[in-house]
Amino acid sequence: MEFHNDKISEAVIRRLTDYLRCIRIASSSDKTLLTSKDISETCGLKPSIIRKDLAQFGAYGVKGQGYNTHDLTRHLNNILGLNNIKNIILIGAGHLGTAIARYPGFITANFNFIAAFDTDPEKIGSHIGHTKIYSIDKLNKYIKEQKIEIVVLAVPSDEAAGIVEKLDSNYVKGILNFTSMVFPGRIHDMYVHNIDLAKELEVISFCMKNCLTQKRDDQINNE
């Protein structure tokens, strides 16, 4: 990779994905150049930080003009490693798991649900879209055979810990955890990322009442 700086925080990465989305939205129009101001208006961040984030990875812009949407998309995809298709699996084919597997955004980002796993005998053998559901007994065998690195976990919360514990960490390096179970950032050298939908609602609910400014990491006032 061609970028010089040696340390990038997760916050920066999150913003890069935002920029990518903003470009996607904007490029539906015929504009071929976007300025940091343009992007800032879509995603609500300040132009200065957008410029700084992008400059960190190289001078992608043209002074006086802005950023070429096509080039910038390519660069961002490259930084984020989204250029090649990554096979991932789904564990738990309930309502949420099914919805996740069908979520169109994954395809855009080049993630492919190659298989799903569940305990329910009625589900085993059926499909979610093109993704076949297998018995969870075959999970680690499949992981090994297909060298699966990323797993999406959408089982009932009380089953989550047991499954994570058993996952073959020789192959699995990342877990996207949609259960209400909380895991520390790393388990057996696997990177775990917790997403709790209710949490997001809790945050928004608090922010609604207390937020005064409109920036991302809001400063909030209480009496």
Sites for a copy of itself among residues 165-194 (CB under 8 A)? 173-176, 180-186, 191, 193
Residues 194-223 close enough to bind a copy of itself by CB under 8 A: 195-211, 214-223
- 210 touches, from DNA, a copy of itself, none (C-beta below 5 to 8 Å by class): a copy of itself
- Separation of alpha carbons 156 and 149, rounded Å: 22
Query: Closest separation between CB of residue 174 and DNA, Å?
Result: 20
List, in order, residues 6 or more apart from 76 with CB less than 8 Å away.
16, 19, 20, 23, 82
- Separation of alpha carbons 9 and 19, rounded Å: 16
Query: Closest separation between CB of residue 1 and a copy of itself, Å?
Result: 6
Provide the mask over 10-29, with x wherever binding to DNA is found by CB under 7 A and - wherever it is not: -xx-----------------
Query: Closest separation between CB of residue 216 and a copy of itself, Å?
Result: 6
Exposure pattern of 103-114 as b/e (b: 16+ CB <10 Å)? Answer: eeebeeeebebb
- 30 touches, from DNA, a copy of itself, none (C-beta below 5 to 8 Å by class): none
Residue 138 or 173 with smaller CB distance to a copy of itself: 173
Please state whether beta strands 33-34 and 111-118 pair in parallel, antiparallel, or not at all (unpaired).
unpaired
Q: Does 80 bind a copy of itself (CB under 8 A)?
A: yes
User: What tokens appear for 67 in the block?
Assistant: 């950023």
Exposure pattern of 151-181 as b/e (b: 16+ CB <10 Å)? Answer: bbbbbeeebbeebbeebeeebbeebbbbbeb
Residues 31-70 close enough to bind DNA by CB under 7 A: 34-37, 45-49, 51-52, 54-55, 59-67
Amino acid present at 166: K
The contact set with DNA (CB under 7 A) reads 7, 9, 11-12, 34-37, 45-49, 51-52, 54-55, 59-67, 215-217, 219
